[in-house]
Amino acid sequence: MASAAVFAVVFQSKGDPKFAWSLVALIALILLASALMYANQVLAFFRVRRVQAARDKVAREQRSELLRLARRFAQFANSGDWSNLRYIVANAYGNNPDKCAMICPPDYMRDLCPFFIQHLETRSPENEHQFLLAIQEWYGVIASYNNNYVLEPLRKMRLKQWFAADNTSQLMPDAVSWIESLPVNHQGIVERQIEDFRERWAGFLDDMKKWLEKSGELFSAALPTYFERPQKL
């Protein structure tokens, strides 16, 4: 439009070329002033785009670490793994589902965990926003497992609301902890198995917390990092 205006001015001012070229110079100055006015905004736009592209690249690179932690968590969510708390409880009760349900919740993680891992494997986060959403999604999964599969069962085990399996002589037997309610020859073995699970799970939570803190610093994001640690029986 500016070029058209210049040519129109030159064409209409053939009788006075000095006037025409003065107008051309004025228009050129206006265009130069406009360019200088918006130059910083244009440069800032491309600078932001460049920084965002770099952050998106880092997010894609970090996806492999998130996937590694997710697969590590899947071992805890596997109810068929003999070293996990749910299996330990079920085995102590001779795989009686009704008795196991008194300690452990319904096994919803059995179906939920593979779905989340498949989602992470097949739909890789393409940018920083998607990656941060995937992190928060996994935080929710792990926090749910920690609360329902670990903390709550251990809390129930500590309560003195159980009765010794071998105590049949008393009409009103004293309530004991869950470990004490098991057959005497099983108590030590089961307690060691539970402690081994607790230490492994606490170690995973520590690693997950460190990675969440590192990711929060890397992307300047306020990511949730708190997990309540399971205490010994």
Average pLDDT of the residues in 29-42: 63
Say if residue 68 is exposed, middle or buried (CB neighbours under 10 Å; 0-12, 13-18, 19+). exposed
Q: What is the mean pLDDT of the chain?
A: 83
Using pLDDT thresholds of 50, 70 and 90, give the confidence band for residue 51: low
Average pLDDT of the residues in 143-162: 96
Average pLDDT of the residues in 122-148: 90
Q: Of 11-20, 103-112, 139-148, which range is least confident?
A: 11-20
Q: What is the pLDDT of residue 55?
A: 72
CA 168 vs. chain centroid, Å, equals 49
Indicate if the pLDDT at residue 141 is higher than 90.
yes
Confirm if 227 and 209 have CB atoms less than 8 A apart.
yes
What's this model's pTM, rounded to 2 decimal places?
0.77
pLDDT tens, position by position, 60-87: 788 889 999 999 999 999 988 999 999 9
Name residues whose C-beta falls within 8 Å of residue 27's C-beta, 6 or more positions apart in sequence.
2, 5, 6, 9
Name residues whose C-beta falls within 8 Å of residue 90's C-beta, 6 or more positions apart in sequence.
96, 97, 100, 104
Confirm if 190 and 182 have CB atoms less than 8 A apart.
yes
In the chain, the percentage of residues whose pLDDT exceeds 90 is 52
Indicate if the pLDDT at residue 208 is higher than 60.
yes
Angle, CA 201 vertex, CA 221 and CA 117 arms, to 5°: 60
Q: Where are the beta strands (DSSP E) in the chain?
A: 162-163, 175-176
Radius of gyration of the chain (CA): 33
Q: Which residue has the tokens 């053939």?
A: 14
Average pLDDT of the residues in 38-50: 56
Q: Of 87-91, 122-126, 177-181, which range is least confident?
A: 122-126
Q: What is the pLDDT of residue 101?
A: 94
Domain boundaries, the chain: 62-219
Using pLDDT thresholds of 50, 70 and 90, give the confidence band for residue 4: very low
Q: What is the pLDDT of residue 214?
A: 92
Q: What is the pLDDT of residue 165?
A: 73
pLDDT tens, position by position, 123-132: 777 788 888 9
Confirm if 86 and 195 have CB atoms less than 8 A apart.
no
Q: How far apart (Å, rounded) are the C-alpha atoms in residues 111 and 41?
A: 50
